[in-house]
Every structure is written in C-alpha cells, then in structure tokens.
Structure 1
C-alpha cells in the first residue's frame, strides 16, 4: 500500500474515483456514500457491548446505593448539623446527592470521563482494527466525529447516572425533605432539585476539558491506559498547582481552577460568576485540544 493511502486514508482516493454505477433493479452495485458509513447507532452498540462500558455504568449506579446503606447503618455515628457536605449527607435525598457529587467530582468523575473518551480511538489502534475501519471506507473526520459523539454521550450518561442514583438512594434511606446548605439555609425540595440540575449541567461543561484532553491523547497512542492515565495525571497536576497560592493570577487560567464552582449553585441567591468563567475556560481548552486532535489524526499514518 502506498504512503498516500496509509497516511491520508484509502477513503480519500475514492473521492477522485469515477462515479459508481447506478444500482441495478435487484439492488446490486449500489453506490458508495461517505455519509452512510459507520452510523452513530452502530458505534453506540459497539461501545455499549464492551464489558468496560457496562461495568462502569453499573458501578456508578450501585456506588451511591452502597454508600447510602453504609451511612444508614452507622447513622448514629454520623455528625449532623455541621457545615460540611458529609455532615449534611443524611439530611435528605438532595443533601446525599450533593455529598456524592462533592466526594466524586475531583477524581471518580474525572477517571470515568477520561476512560470513555481516552479509550475510544486508542483501543481501536491497539486492536489493529483502526486501519480496517478506515479502509471500509470511513472518512477520517467522520470516524473521529462518530467516536467523539458516542464517547461524550457515554461520559455524560455516567455523569447523570451518579447523582440520579444518589438522589434515589438518599430518598430511600433518608427521605425527600428540603435541602440544607453548609451556610445554614434551607431550600425547598423542588427548588433544590432544580439547583441540583444546575450542578449536573455545570459539571458536564467543566468535564469537557477532561474529555477533550483524554481524546487528544487517545489519537496519539495505541495504548488506552496511556491516554486515560495521562489525562488523569495532568488533571491531578493542574489541581495541585491550583493549591499553590504563590502562583497568583496564573491559577485562574488552570483548567481545574473552577472545577468546584458548582457549590455556588446552592448559595442564596445562586452565584453565576465563577461557574460562567469555568464554563468559558473549559470550552476554550476543549476547542483547542479537539482541533489539535483532528489535525493529528488527519495526518496520521495508521500503519505506524
């Protein structure tokens, strides 16, 4: 195979090929259409059938239930009425969901998002099936787009499953009363649920950086663990640097600086300033990383 076909993809040669013959009456010799290759549902089914997808989503659903059961069993030893999320965890469904989000947002959610988005391309390269996908033929941009949409969708699904499961588990064990905030205010259940949806939405936007970073690393390697682990490591490094006050204003451009700004959704009233800055910063980083990922993948030799 020539260097052109491996570096740019066999599908690129088809663009300059003569038009395909018209389909016969029996349906044979149908023409090739780039827009009909690798449909989203096919990629979604492929990813859904993977054991890692099923185990991760099941684990996210069961984790809050197990945690709530442990809290309920040891409820007498749990501090109530404090000012920390853990002190308020047994106060009701919303409080328990907030505690689970608080405990998971700095590592568990990061790992899950990095796993779904860093593994999707790198695993195909590791299995040596990437070159066959491109020769099927699927255009490189379409392949990357389909994988990006599905991996983002699975990451978002996991991000929603965790607090929803925590909300249900908290309701079963602790009831659906009004939410109490660390500031001492009480928020009615309906409004608390609305604010919890703001928290989930902001986390989804702030995790765009993590997803894009893992995806960017995934197109550079055929080792899924390297892409996932590299993304998690860089997020941890950014989090550590954010704790160094001597960095001054530099901390504000770190991608993880506003990752915990979702707590402002439970201020009275809601404070949007830091969440807005965090959303803009995450989207900006994501746009740059995805552009670099596309540039690399379109020029990549799939046989190297």
Structure 2
C-alpha cells in the first residue's frame, strides 16, 4: 500500500462523524504532495541565491519589469524578498493554489474512500467546505512561509538594507513590511479564481492531475489572451489581468485603482466557480 493510499483509510470513529477541519487538516498535511510542495517553497529562495552566485551582476541596458527586479535583488533582504515574490507569483503560487484546492476531492474519489465518507453519512456541503478551507489555508500558509523565509535568506546572503524599488524610491522597513503584507494578501486573492477553477474541475473528476493541470492550463491560456490588445475592454475581466497590480503598492505613493479592480473581479470569479462546484457535487452521483 502506498503512502498516499494509506492516508485514505478511515477508522470507524472517523467515518461515523462529520469530517472536521482538524481531521481534514491532519490528512492533508500528512500527504506526500503537501510535503513536496512546502519543500519547493523552502528551496526557492536558496535556489535563487545560488543562481545569483553563479550569475553576472552587470545589468547592461535592461528596462523590463523583470530585469529591474533582478538588478535590485542582491542589494538587500527587502529587494531579494520582493524579487522572490515576483517570480513565485508568476507560476509557483498559482500551481500550489490549484494543487491544494483541486486535488483533495478527486484524490478521495481515486482511492474509493469518497463513497464511504458520503455513506457515513457526511453532508456533502460540509465535506466540500472542510476540504476547500484546508486547501485555502495551506495556500495562504505557503505564501507567508515563502516570504518570511525569503526575508531571512536574503538578509543572511545580502544584508538588511531597506527597499529600493524599481523606480529608485527608498522605503523604510516599517513602511515596506506593511506594504509587503498587503501585497501578499492581494496576490492570495488574485489566486482564488484559479483555486476555484481547480476546485470545480476536481468535483467533476476522479483524476487529481486533471483538476490541477486543467486549472493551470486555464491560467496560461488567459495569460496569453490577456496580451491581445484587441480584446479590450473584455480582457480586464480575465482572472489574472490585475495580478501584477501589487507592484503599485511598493511605491512612495501607492496607487490603489487596479488593486481594487483586481480584488473585485477575483471575488466574482471565485464565487461563481465555487458555487458551480457545490452545485455539481450535491447533484451528481458520486458513487458511479
């Protein structure tokens, strides 16, 4: 019996009571994919430091947003953390959100343990709520741990100089940490639509890869479509269109317009796909 399959076993006491947040947390935290995911989170700042150690610090004439973050990444812990947030928000955190929120239901179905949960009986709404809450909690925890670890690694590697943003403005540590916390919270909100899409696909399938891969594929397609100017103004409603608006918060005079729009559209798409997921799960024949 594999490690993944062993976590699907239930004793009589667990099956006969509604699945609590604590029980679901223990199950999801103990899974191999959770440990691998958090290992990747811990490894990313170290990999970036090693990459910079072998790279060339000369910047030449680079003007893109990514290049400006790269040029400043080795000036201190604040800038290194900002660069880590920039690169991780492009794919890694999206992948983790899709994994944690989209994998749990199809994994139960693939292990054939989902039918026992529902026969117990466990209310379907309670079951989904428990799994979705744990998935979102793991996503938020991974985001916070990544930033906290990047601050420490960056400080040890490059010192504790305050932030110098790509515009050349300096922000003290107090202001920077407050803005960083808001930026991380905003990125978490913008990931919710992808998590909700993974959740919706997950309740329609017993293949965990389908939910995670499908949500990430949707994210990539939307990112490509978002580059097409001819889709204005419709592309403004795409999940992820305002994903980089958090960069407006790390300036001396933060701009909130795009941040507000990003939050509103993210909540609209999240509520829509979560509701579709609940509707599908309550009405479908899970035992078939």
TM-score normalised according to structure 1 size: 0.85
In 2, distance between residues paired with 1:202 and 1:193?
Answer: 14
More helix by share: 2
Q: Give 2:26's match in structure 1, choosing from 45, 62, 83.
A: 45
| C-alpha contact (below 8 Å) 1:71/1:78 kept by paired residues | no
Structure 1 residue aligned with 2:163: 179
Residues 80, 90 of structure 1: 8 Å contact kept: no
Provide Cα deviations, 1:72-101, integer angstroms capped at 9, x if missing partner.
454655679987101110011111111111
Larger Rg computed on CA atoms: 1
Counterpart in 1 of 2:5? none
Q: Which runs of 5+ in 1 are unaligned?
A: 1-31
Q: Which residue of 1 is the match for residue 225 of structure 2?
A: 241
Between the aligned partners of 1:187 and 1:135, the Cα distance in structure 2 is: 57
Residue 210 (structure 2) aligned to one of 226, 237, 248: 226
Q: Which stretch of structure 1 is more off in the superposition, 58-67 or 225-234?
A: 58-67
1:176, 1:189 within 8 Å by CA — same for their partners in 2?
Answer: no
| C-alpha contact (below 8 Å) 2:17/2:120 kept by paired residues | no
Q: Is the 8 A contact 2:198 2:212 kept in 1?
A: yes
Shift of 1:176: 1.2
Q: Deviations over 1:123-145 (max 9, x none)?
A: 11111110011112211111011
Question: For residues 33-80 of structure 1, what are the alpha-carbon distances to aligned partners after superposition, in whole Å with 9 as ceiling and x for unaligned?
Answer: x99521111100001110110111121012112312332454655679
Are 1:117 and 1:214, in contact at CA under 8 Å, matched by a contact in 2? yes
Name which of 267, 274, 277 aligns with 1:290: 274
**Segments ≥4 residues shifted beyond 6 Å:** 78-83
Whether contact under 8 Å (1:94, 1:176) holds in the other structure is yes
Is the 2:16–2:120 contact (alpha carbons within 8 Å) kept by the matching residues of 1?
Answer: no
Q: Identify which of 108, 124, 128 aligns with 1:124.
A: 108
Q: Following superposition of structure 1 onto structure 2, how do residues 126-145 of structure 1 map, counting pairs within 5 Å? A: 126-145=110-129
Q: What is the RMSD computed on CA atoms of the aligned residues? A: 2.1
3-state SS in 2 of match to 1:255: coil
Q: Who is 2:43 aligned against? A: 62
CA contact (8 A) 2:105 2:202 kept: yes
TM-score, scaled relative to structure 2: 0.89
For structure 2, the residue ranges without an aligned partner over 5 or more in a row are 1-12
1:108, distance to aligned residue in structure 2 (A) = 1.3
* Aligned residues of 2:16 and 2:121 also touching (Cα < 8 A): no
2:68 maps to 84
